[in-house]
Amino acid sequence: MQLLAAVSVISSLVLPLPAHATVIDSTVEDGGTLTESVETLSVTMDEEILQVPGVETANVLTLQDASGNYYGDGCTTVEGPSASMVAALGEAGEYVFAYTVVSADTHPVSGEIAFTWEPPADHEPSPALPDAPVCGEEPQETAVPESNDDSAQEPEATDTDVAEETTTDDAAQEEGTEEGGVPPWVFILVSVAAVALIIGLIIGNWVRARRMWAGWQDKHPDENHSGDDSRDDRQ
């Protein structure tokens, strides 16, 4: 009996441990489909959400598509048990709305709500961001991939392009000549002149030798005749 009484007293002194906060409402349910444009995406807990002064990352909401791109401005608004962000949705597809909030018992509570976005016809997609946006900072949009179409990368040359290339080549040749470069036709001209000079020297020497021989014969006619007589006697 004494043991039971002691157990009963101790049990009455032990306070029940508080349970962590849970989600009781959200803009879209997990696994649901959103078909209408909304201004904000919000999540509501079953108790107050604490706002830690000077710590902006204590309560964070993010929105990502199936490719991992982020949307929104990174700012989270807390009002009582609810936390919300701007609903900056992009193209139609699968999205994940993630939340991390600090409940009244100072414990962080995190979760994800996956949903399908089927926008109305007048919806204007918000830009996709490669990194999670930071509240108050200018986000950087995801770069649009370049087309792999060869025709788009290398457009066909037009007559104007050909004319511009020709003009550029001529200007480059003129610039090379001005800077000390020698055009090819100069080498050809020099080669032709050298060959003509050599031929001229050969012909000139031959003519000079003929003239010297003719002059010698004119000055020594007797030797020419004696040479002829000697040849006649031998015959």
pLDDT tens for residues 91-148? 999 999 999 999 888 889 999 999 999 999 999 999 999 999 999 888 776 554 444 5
Mean per-residue pLDDT, 72-88? 94
Q: Flag whether pLDDT at 78 surpasses 80.
A: yes
Q: How much of the chain exceeds pLDDT 90, in percent?
A: 43
Q: Which CATH number fits domain 19-117: 3.40.50.2300, 3.30.1490.20, 3.40.640.10, 2.60.40.1220?
A: 2.60.40.1220
Per-residue pLDDT of 3-38, as tens digits, reads 434 434 334 443 444 557 899 999 999 999 999 999
Mean pLDDT of the chain: 77
The DSSP 8-state label assigned to residue 2 in this structure reads H
Q: What residue type is assigned to position 65 of the chain?
A: D
What is the rounded CA–CA span in Å between residue 180 and residue 203?
A: 37
**Residue 3 main-chain phi, psi, to 5 deg:** -65, -40
**Residue 206 main-chain phi, psi, to 5 deg:** -65, -45
Q: Look at residue 139 in the predicted model and tell me its pLDDT.
A: 75
Nearest Cα neighbor of 61 from 113, 107, 136, 25 is 113
Q: Look at residue 145 in the predicted model and tell me its pLDDT.
A: 46
The DSSP 8-state label assigned to residue 29 in this structure reads -
Residues 6+ positions from 124 with CB-CB distance below 8 Å: none
Mean per-residue pLDDT, 167-178? 56
Q: What is the pTM of this model?
A: 0.54
Q: Look at residue 3 in the predicted model and tell me its pLDDT.
A: 40
What is the rounded CA–CA span in Å between residue 49 and residue 108?
A: 10
Q: HSE-up of 213 (CA within 13 Å, CB side)?
A: 6
The DSSP 8-state label assigned to residue 70 in this structure reads E
Query: Between residues 107 and 159, which one has the greater pLDDT?
Result: 107
